[in-house]
Amino acid sequence: MSTSTAISILQCGKTYPNGTRALETVDLEVVSGETLVLLGPSGCGKTSLLRMIAGLESPDAGGRILFGSEDVTAQPPETRNVGMVFQSYALFPNMTVAQNVGYGLRIRRLPEERRRARVAEMLEMVQLSALSARRIDQLSGGQRQRVALARAIAVTPRVLLLDEPLTALDAKLRESLRVDIDTLLRKAGITAIYVTHDQAEAMALGDRIVVMDHGEIVQIGSPTQIYHAPANAFVADFVGSVNRLQGNVQDGVWRCGNAALPWPADAPVGGVVMVRPEDLRLGHEAAGAISGTLTARYFLGNRTRLLVDIGQGAPVLVDTSERGEFALASQVHLRIDPATMIVLPA
């Protein structure tokens, strides 16, 4: 349907007039047709990077942005032909749903009839055909979000840019729209760059995830790479919960409590061992396990989160899907599958 474009970001940094460094100098290649997620806490530079691609901000001198082989660095947003979805939706309150969706086509002086057809097609795509004559303030949050998406896609942009499009919605709606957006992007085959601070959103949507922190790119990888093999402690913490376990390495064996696991050959000397809460299994005997006392439990429906004190300061978090009583103050024995151990440089 739409012609998707690869994007190259070359040596782009961003310093504001007051001296704030929003983005260190970075390089990034976006593959044609993929959904790339920029993930990080607020202030990490992800939005600056997105706005640079839109042309709403310009990179510091020396930075270049290519759409395919065309250098667009000097082009204003008006001529870049990007579609952008804003966190606040930024729908025009003085126009109807159909007028919003057709605005980019009107600016492009598309003949009335073709415009009408394209708007109808877009509204059908986001399942809002029935609401085309509505005013924006008559729509729910989720409907506004879909109108914003339709408006951005209607002009067949070279790249679709999404700036935290789901942040303003509540949890249940966010989850269902996440699936809708994913389906839509895959059907359209459009290159999309998606900014979010929500790791669940990033993992559900991204072909690749770019984790950012303090204006720098920390790791680029598939969702499973990011989650199971984080590049550093920041990434491990940011994408899900993680336990730091203190142990001793001797003769290629890592020991913590009664547990003894083979130390990976490629692990850094003095490396820190981390295990995710769902990778700790409850066992029945102390032999070969890390033992501790259950200090708190939270039933979360599909799992129960246990807090276990193993005498290492912060309690160890354990997620289990077992149904049990989990009596407080009882002894608990934790086993680790060696394959789930994450070892990071100290």
Cβ 340 to a second copy shortest distance, Å: 8
Closest CA to 153 of 318, 345, 2, 328: 2
- Nearest to a second copy of 266, 322 (CB atom): 322
Asked if residues 273 and 254 have their Cβ atoms less than 8 Å apart, the reply is yes
321 binds a second copy (CB under 8 A): yes
208 binds a second copy (CB under 8 A): no
Asked if residues 188 and 1 have their Cβ atoms less than 8 Å apart, the reply is yes
Residues pairing with 209 in the sheet: 37, 221
C-alpha distances (whole Å) from 14 to each of 26, 27, 30, 66 are: 10, 13, 19, 17
**Residue 228 contact partner, candidates other proteins, a second copy, none, CB within 5 to 8 A by sort of partner:** a second copy
**Residue 51 contact partner, candidates other proteins, a second copy, none, CB within 5 to 8 A by sort of partner:** other proteins
**Residue 272 contact partner, candidates a second copy, other proteins, none, CB within 5 to 8 A by sort of partner:** none
Q: Which of 299, 311, 314, 328 binds a second copy (CB under 8 A)?
A: 299
Q: Which of 125, 200, 229, 231 binds a second copy (CB under 8 A)?
A: 200
From the list 38-46, 104-112, 114-122, 187-195, the region that binds other proteins by CB under 8 A is: 104-112
58 binds other proteins (CB under 8 A): yes
Cβ 157 to a second copy shortest distance, Å: 26
Instruction: Write each residue from 148 to 187 as x if it is in contact with other proteins (CB under 8 A), else as -, in one continuous string.
Output: ---xx--x-----x--------------------------
**Which parts of this chain interact with other proteins (CB under 8 A)?**
51, 54-58, 76-84, 86-88, 90-95, 103-104, 107-108, 151-152, 155, 161
